[in-house]
Amino acid sequence: MSTEETERGPRRTNPESPPNYNFSSRSKLMSSTSSSQLVADKHVRYILMAEKKKESLESVVMDHLRMNGAYWGLTTLDLLDKLGTVPEDEVLSWVMTCQHESGGFAGNTGHDPHILYTLSAVQILALFDKISILDVGKVSSYVAGLQNEDGSFSGDIWGEIDTRFSYIAICCLSILKCLDKINVEKAVAYIVSCKNLDGGFGCTPGAESHAGQIFCCVGALAITGSLHHVDKDLLGWWLCERQVKTGGLNGRPEKLPDVCYSWWVLSSLIMIDRVHWIDKAKLVKFILDCQDLDNGGISDRPDDAVDIFHTYFGVAGLSLLEYPGVKTIDPAYALPVDVINRILFTR
Amino acid sequence: MHGRPRNAASKPGEEATSAAKAFRLRSLQPQFMSNHHQKIYTQEAVQISEELLKINPEAYTAWNYRKLAVEDKLSRSDDSDPSLVNLILSEELRVVDEVILKNLKSYGAWYHRKWVLSKGHPSLQKELQLVNEYQKIDSRNFHAWNYRRFVVEQTKTSELDELQYTTDMIYDSFSNYSAWHNRSLLLSSLVAKKADGFMPKETIRREIDFVYNALFTDEYDQSAWFYYLWLLDQTVKMETPLRISSWPSDGSIIILSGPECFNGSSSKFTTFCSESGSFPLILYFDQAVSGVSSSTVTVDSELKGHEDLVWEPVSDKNSPVSSCVWVARLEFDSTEPCFRTENKVKVCLGKSRGIVSSRGCNLSTPYEFVFTVLIHDTVGVSQEGIVSWTGDGFDNWDAQSKDLNSLIALDHLNADTGVEWRKKAIKMEIECFRRLPDSKFGKLILARLLMTEANVISDDAVYKEILQLYNDLMALDSTHDQYYKDELSVALLHKVTSSTESLSRYLFRYRNMNNIVCLRLSNLTLSRIAAVDKLLFVQMLDLSHNELHSADGLEAMQLLCCLNLSHNRIRSFSALDSLRHLKQLRVLDVTHNHIGGKHPVDTTRYLCSSPLSNSGGIGREVPSKYWDAYLVLGDLMKLKQLDLRGNDLIAGEEFSSLVRQVVPKLVWLNGHKLAS
Ligand SMILES: [Zn+2]
């Protein structure tokens, strides 16, 4: 649930401004191996291998958020219909080693519990249809216990407040069917207090709008039946203006496009029914151009190094773009539609 | 994870450095974990966490450990010696500072800084200088901006100083959206406080002049445009009262009749038939409002039972407080010999305060309207004939007829209500943008400006100008052409409803149903619905052969009983969610759409009340297959005629039996009469 992005640096001219950028990006696309196909098998292999490569700096640095990594990888596999290739028991028993007495989950064995990893753990169990192995009362009490008087949520006992945590709490409790354990009205009011003049949302009241944060807030409002608080035309237009001429989406005005925003912007646009305002074909091409065709995996931008985070967001983005061969993902719960339907509907 | 080249033709040293870092981290981690789990907070142990965080600032457990270590130290130190406490906290801030400088985007580091300060560190003033330094390195970093706002609030730094800071940042780079954002917050606060020199009108004027610099320097830069749009929005909304429309409208005459109204008299007047001996009173506000009740709306009439009207919002159950549309039901007695007596009904809003919009606008001046009710008795037998949208069952609207009920509201609503100051301000902007060379944002803003005053669009030249602007935009910015297309639909509907003359061209009468008025807006390439506030009187609506993908907006048309959405682009029943609010709907045609086709992504999944959004069907058994059909059709209580032919996957017998099960009153399905 990291909402990183990259600056475009000190350049003062706009990346979209013709003629320079257009020209250079077009010639770049021409020169790079033009793909236009999802190399699903290679991505599956990349994900299964990533779990085994523990030597690199990248994987050591990500050690503390292995729970997020597992969720990204496993959801991608499920979207590509390859979840069956994973040793389920092994995964589940590792997940359960991360649970603390408080009910919350850590990012990895030995680390401290945090709401970020608690949602990932619950989502992983949902993927395998194994919510039943949880002590639902305990997990939901942990999450509900993080709600503050003003309706906001802390990430853990140390008290950092962010609308990301509001989304996580609401999503998690809805999957566990325990939303009644929190004050939903206050939770919604806090999120609404983070709404900005551009229609977007920030992490706390007054904070600048950011596509990652917008996903969290719109998602939380969607799950609580509160989307009437969103000015759909205003926000929809701001979001669709995230698409730059290369087809990719950025997360804030005047930033570079990045594959992870394919998820955050697209899912938000879908939840408010404004996704037709962007050019889907161009975005598909942008994502496909970010694949590593030789070794699998997807990167933030064409020809950058791939990672599991962007591989997930790339595939999830393609799912939202109705790319053939990719299962449909739910834009609010960030789980495959069949998984969330199984939980919330009867058969 | 960002911005690293894939085939790093890495500099020779780089690979070795990163391998060494990885090696070091792998040895630090178990040591740190062991200290953490055993609660060891010695100098040496704490040092390990520092080294670890410098390599990996996101290792959140290490930050937690350091907080425990600080608390441990503080608990051992002598409270009475503040310098000792300061020493502990300063040492901690030094570590954070070093880590933040390595990674300005570390959530953990920034929060740790806040946490340390909350322990009572006195040097908050220094924090502002520090954050200035960080912002020099990365002027868009949102952690730094958030932290800045936090420090400013804590230290009560003057908002004027902060405003000057944003001015400096903006002159440094016009494309600093973060600075523009902060500027909008500061100005809103100064204006709200009525600070010296910050009266609303003069502030907006000054800011518009300021932002022009940026707009005309780099016309592609989004930051300044968004800021300009915000200023414009403030201008448009300033001193604008809530716009209200109603059914029945002011001065209208309506005829009420009992249940068997589908035949009988062929009055030229608007007739409303009722099965329940009551008729709806509908209020439409241009912003969602709360507080509509029998104490804020008074109704005077000779009809019985109006004392304690129950006002209900037309919205989903999770949002009971605020809605654009409110409905109350007025009762009448069709058996009493009041036949052909005139009943005057007077409605008054806002005599007592309480109606408030979600933007905080009050209903400032009372709003009053009067209409006349005539009650017909009912004769004849009920007719269960099929309603046909094709053929010659329609007569042209007779503009000469005395039935102006439908149109009376229009002239009322299109009346010029603009405030002089605002009109002048908008006119100035229009003139300015007309002179601007061809830029995307310039054209878009000009089009929006031209649409801000409802009555302006009735002018054909203005309408043509708007069409031209959007057509230019589609060519200029094809990525967003569907957005411009939607805007065109809005413009078209505003144009259609802008005058009696233009609307009457689309009005017909349907002979087989008591000559009710039918609005036919077919074949107009409409991709969205708008201007419903002017169409509250419509009972029969033909939107066939358009490009609609959703029925959103129709919920306001509470009188609708017949709706034709055939030959559109509807992909799921969830897109028809708004129809669940139409309690009169009897006839629905959605033939030749794309319902049930291979469109895995449902864009109205969360705009449709369901267990997914914890807002509908809770506690009921909702099957996952056809869940939206089950919920939406199940709420159309009066539906008698439904046509679904020509849709992709819902033609089968399985689906038909589901429909019969959830819509028990259905008589006609897909053109066939159902066996009762
Ligand atoms: Zn990214």
- Which tokens in the block code for residue B297? 């709306």
How far apart are the CA of B229 and the centre of ligand 1, in A?
28
**Inter-chain CB proximity A64 and B58 less than 8 Å:** yes
Q: How far is B665 from chain A (nearest CA, A)?
A: 25
Report pLDDT for A195. 96
Chain B residue with the nearest C-alpha to that of A233: B483
Residues of B in contact with A282 (CB under 8 A): 479
Most confident of A59-73, A185-199, B317-331: A185-199
User: What average pLDDT does this structure show over B245-269?
Assistant: 67
Contact of B94 with B70, CB cutoff 8 Å: no
Position A256 in a domain: yes
How far apart are the CA of A2 and the centre of ligand 1, in A?
9
Q: How far is A331 from chain B (nearest CA, A)?
A: 9
Looking at the 3D structure of chain B, how many domains does it have? Answer: 4
Task: Report the distance separating Cα B551 and Cα B38, nearest Å.
Answer: 62
Is the per-residue pLDDT at B412 higher than 90? no
Task: Report the distance separating Cα A231 and Cα A234, nearest Å.
Answer: 6
Same domain, B481 and B518: no
Question: Quick check: A228 contacting B, CB < 8 Å?
Answer: yes
Task: Report the distance separating Cα B150 and Cα B155, nearest Å.
Answer: 9
The conformation of residue A160, written as its DSSP 8-state character, comes to -
Contact of A339 with A287, CB cutoff 8 Å: no
| Cβ-Cβ contacts under 8 Å for B260 (sequence gap 6 or more) | B273, B378, B379, B380, B381, B382, B383
pLDDT tens-digit map of B365-374: 788 899 888 8
Residues of B in contact with A322 (CB under 8 A): 599-601
Task: Report the distance separating Cα A227 and Cα A217, nearest Å.
Answer: 10
How far apart are the CA of A76 and the centre of ligand 1, in A?
16
Question: Quick check: A41 contacting B, CB < 8 Å?
Answer: no
**Inter-chain CB proximity A305 and B6 less than 8 Å:** yes
Compare CB distances from A273 to B21, B146, B604 and report the shortest one's residue: B604
Same domain, B331 and B422: no
Q: Quick one: how far is CA B517 from the chain centroid?
A: 31
Report pLDDT for B420. 80
User: What average pLDDT does this structure show over B136-164?
Assistant: 92
Same domain, B487 and B514: no
Compare CB distances from B1 to A159, A282, A307 and report the shortest one's residue: A307
**Inter-chain CB proximity B482 and A270 less than 8 Å:** no
Contact of A243 with A282, CB cutoff 8 Å: yes
Task: Report the distance separating Cα B270 and Cα B264, nearest Å.
Answer: 14
| Cβ-Cβ contacts under 8 Å for B665 (sequence gap 6 or more) | B637, B638, B639, B640
> E strand or H helix at B245, and its extent?
strand B244-247
Task: Report the distance separating Cα B357 and Cα B487, nearest Å.
Answer: 25
**Inter-chain CB proximity A56 and B22 less than 8 Å:** yes
**Inter-chain CB proximity A322 and B220 less than 8 Å:** no
CA distances from B397 to B269, B452, B497 (A): 12, 30, 15
How far apart are the CA of A233 and the centre of ligand 1, in A?
26
How far apart are the CA of A255 and the centre of ligand 1, in A?
11
pLDDT tens-digit map of A276-333: 999 999 999 999 999 999 999 999 999 999 999 999 999 999 999 999 999 999 999 9
CA distances from B450 to B243, B445, B487 (A): 19, 9, 12
pLDDT tens-digit map of A268-289: 999 999 999 999 999 999 999 9
Compare CB distances from B622 to A306, A342, A346 and report the shortest one's residue: A346
Position B480 in a domain: yes
Contact of A274 with A232, CB cutoff 8 Å: yes
- Which tokens in the block code for residue B121? 């560190």
Position A15 in a domain: no
Is the per-residue pLDDT at B465 higher than 90? yes
* Cβ density class B105-130: b for 16+ within 10 Å, e for less: bbbbbbbbbbbbbeeebeeeeebbeb
Which residue's entry shows tokens 């322990």? B119
Which residue's entry shows tokens 């800011």? B207
User: What average pLDDT does this structure show over A74-90?
Assistant: 96
Dihedral-angle region of residue B229 (phi above 0 means left; psi in -120 to 50 means alpha; beta otherwise): alpha
Compare CB distances from A304 to B6, B64, B223 and report the shortest one's residue: B6
How far apart are the CA of A215 and the centre of ligand 1, in A?
14
Give the model's confidence band at B406: pLDDT under 50 very low, under 70 low, under 90 confident, else very high.
low
pLDDT tens-digit map of B47-78: 999 999 999 999 999 999 999 999 999 998 87
**Inter-chain CB proximity A63 and B223 less than 8 Å:** no
What DSSP line would sit under A124-156, residue for residue?
HHHHTT-GGGS-HHHHHHHHHTTB-TTS-BBSS
Number of Cβ within 10 Å of residue B192's Cβ equals 10
Contact of B620 with B633, CB cutoff 8 Å: no
Task: Give the range of the structural domain holding residue B432, as residue numbers without chain letter.
Answer: 415-495
Residues of A in contact with B444 (CB under 8 A): none
Position B543 in a domain: yes
pLDDT tens-digit map of B320-363: 578 899 999 888 766 654 456 788 899 998 777 888 887 777 77
Residues of B in contact with A307 (CB under 8 A): 1
Looking at the 3D structure of chain A, how many domains does it have? Answer: 1
Task: Report the distance separating Cα B295 and Cα A136, nearest Å.
Answer: 46
Domain termination residue (choose one: B353, B380, B407): B380
Distance between the two ends of chain A, CA-based, in angstroms?
Answer: 30
Residue type, A173: L
Task: Give the range of the structural domain holding residue A206, as residue numbers without chain letter.
Answer: 35-344
User: What average pLDDT does this structure show over A126-133?
Assistant: 97
Task: Report the distance separating Cα A249 and Cα A278, nearest Å.
Answer: 10
Position B205 in a domain: no
**Inter-chain CB proximity A328 and B601 less than 8 Å:** yes
- Which tokens in the block code for residue B242? 């809530």
Position A2 in a domain: no
Note the residue count of chain A.
347
Lowest mean pLDDT among A48-52, A130-134, B5-9, B172-176: B5-9
Position A251 in a domain: yes
Is the per-residue pLDDT at B383 higher than 80? no
Same domain, B347 and B324: yes
Which residue's entry shows tokens 């499920």? A78
Position B633 in a domain: yes
Question: Quick check: A224 contacting B, CB < 8 Å?
Answer: yes
**Inter-chain CB proximity A60 and B26 less than 8 Å:** yes
Dihedral-angle region of residue B305 (phi above 0 means left; psi in -120 to 50 means alpha; beta otherwise): left
Lowest mean pLDDT among A52-61, B198-207, B208-217: A52-61
Report pLDDT for B649. 67
Give the pTM. 0.93
Give the model's confidence band at B319: pLDDT under 50 very low, under 70 low, under 90 confident, else very high.
low
- Which tokens in the block code for residue B148? 């800045």
Position A13 in a domain: no
Same domain, B558 and B429: no
Kindly report whether the peptide bond that precedes residue B82 is cis, defined as omega within 30 degrees of 0: no
Residues of A in contact with B182 (CB under 8 A): 208
Task: Report the distance separating Cα A131 and Cα A133, nearest Å.
Answer: 5
Same domain, B555 and B431: no
What is the ipTM score, two decimals?
0.94
Is the per-residue pLDDT at A248 higher than 80? yes
Q: Where are the alpha helices (DSSP H) in B238-302?
A: none
Contact of B520 with B542, CB cutoff 8 Å: yes
Strands, E, within B488-556: which ranges?
507-510, 516-520, 540-542
Position B607 in a domain: yes
Kindly report whether the peptide bond that precedes residue A19 is cis, defined as omega within 30 degrees of 0: yes
Is the per-residue pLDDT at A69 higher than 70? yes
Residues of B in contact with A104 (CB under 8 A): none
**Inter-chain CB proximity A300 and B3 less than 8 Å:** yes
Same domain, B150 and B254: no
Question: Quick check: A180 contacting B, CB < 8 Å?
Answer: no
**Inter-chain CB proximity B222 and A241 less than 8 Å:** yes
Residues of B in contact with A227 (CB under 8 A): 606-607, 613
- Which tokens in the block code for residue B208? 């518009």
The conformation of residue A4, written as its DSSP 8-state character, comes to -
Residues of B in contact with A327 (CB under 8 A): 600
Give the model's confidence band at A17: pLDDT under 50 very low, under 70 low, under 90 confident, else very high.
very low
- Which tokens in the block code for residue B523? 């074949």
Compare CB distances from B316 to A159, A225, A322 and report the shortest one's residue: A225
Is the per-residue pLDDT at B285 higher than 50? yes
CA distances from A255 to A194, A201, B218, B462 (A): 22, 17, 16, 36
CA distances from A89 to A67, A82, A93, A342, B558 (A): 15, 16, 6, 21, 55
Bridge partners (DSSP) listed for residue B297: B349
Q: How far is A279 from chain B (nearest CA, A)?
A: 5
Kindly report whether the peptide bond that precedes residue A15 is cis, defined as omega within 30 degrees of 0: no
Residues of A in contact with B483 (CB under 8 A): 237, 240, 277
Same domain, B324 and B424: no
pLDDT tens-digit map of B511-537: 888 778 899 999 999 999 999 998 998
Q: How far is B376 from chain A (nearest CA, A)?
A: 40
- Which tokens in the block code for residue B400? 């000469």
Pairing of strands B641-643, B668-669: parallel
Position A280 in a domain: yes
Residue type, B139: S
Report pLDDT for B131. 92
**Inter-chain CB proximity A6 and B2 less than 8 Å:** yes
A133, HSE (Cβ side, Cα atoms, 13 Å): 17
Task: Report the distance separating Cα B497 and Cα B503, nearest Å.
Answer: 5
Report pLDDT for B135. 93
Is the per-residue pLDDT at A232 higher than 90? yes
Chain A residue with the nearest C-alpha to that of B574: A273
Bridge partners (DSSP) listed for residue A159: none
Task: Return the closest-CA partner of residue B414 out of B522, B521, B549, B534.
Answer: B534
For residue B541, the domain's CATH number is 3.80.10.10
Same domain, B589 and B449: no
Kindly report whether the peptide bond that precedes residue A331 is cis, defined as omega within 30 degrees of 0: no
Residue type, B83: S
Strands, E, within B83-139: which ranges?
none
**Inter-chain CB proximity A174 and B483 less than 8 Å:** no
Position A68 in a domain: yes
Task: Report the distance separating Cα B63 and Cα B490, nearest Å.
Answer: 53
Same domain, B345 and B425: no
Position A328 in a domain: yes
For residue A250, the domain's CATH number is 1.50.10.20
Task: Return the closest-CA partner of residue B244 out of B281, B280, B283, B282.
Answer: B283
What DSSP line would sit under A292-335, residue for residue?
-TTT--EESSTTBPEEHHHHHHHHHHHHHTT-TTS--B-TTT-S
Position B53 in a domain: yes
Give the model's confidence band at B675: pLDDT under 50 very low, under 70 low, under 90 confident, else very high.
confident
The conformation of residue A207, written as its DSSP 8-state character, comes to P
Q: How many CB pairs under 8 A join A and B?
A: 237
Lowest mean pLDDT among A243-252, B112-121, B383-392, B461-470: B383-392
Phi, psi at A241, each rounded to 5° = -75, -5
Is the per-residue pLDDT at B380 higher than 70? no
Position B621 in a domain: yes
Question: Quick check: A65 contacting B, CB < 8 Å?
Answer: yes
Task: Return the closest-CA partner of residue A158 out of A167, A148, A166.
Answer: A148
Give the model's confidence band at B81: pLDDT under 50 very low, under 70 low, under 90 confident, else very high.
confident
CA distances from B154 to A163, B85, B525 (A): 21, 20, 55
How far apart are the CA of A274 and the centre of ligand 1, in A?
22
Bridge partners (DSSP) listed for residue A120: none
**Inter-chain CB proximity A292 and B175 less than 8 Å:** no
| Cβ-Cβ contacts under 8 Å for A289 (sequence gap 6 or more) | A29, A32, A34, A35, A302
Same domain, B368 and B428: no
Q: Quick one: how far is CA B228 from the chain centroid?
A: 20
B535, HSE (Cβ side, Cα atoms, 13 Å): 29
Domain termination residue (choose one: B428, B461, B495): B495
Distance between the two ends of chain B, CA-based, in angstroms?
Answer: 65
Same domain, B526 and B590: yes
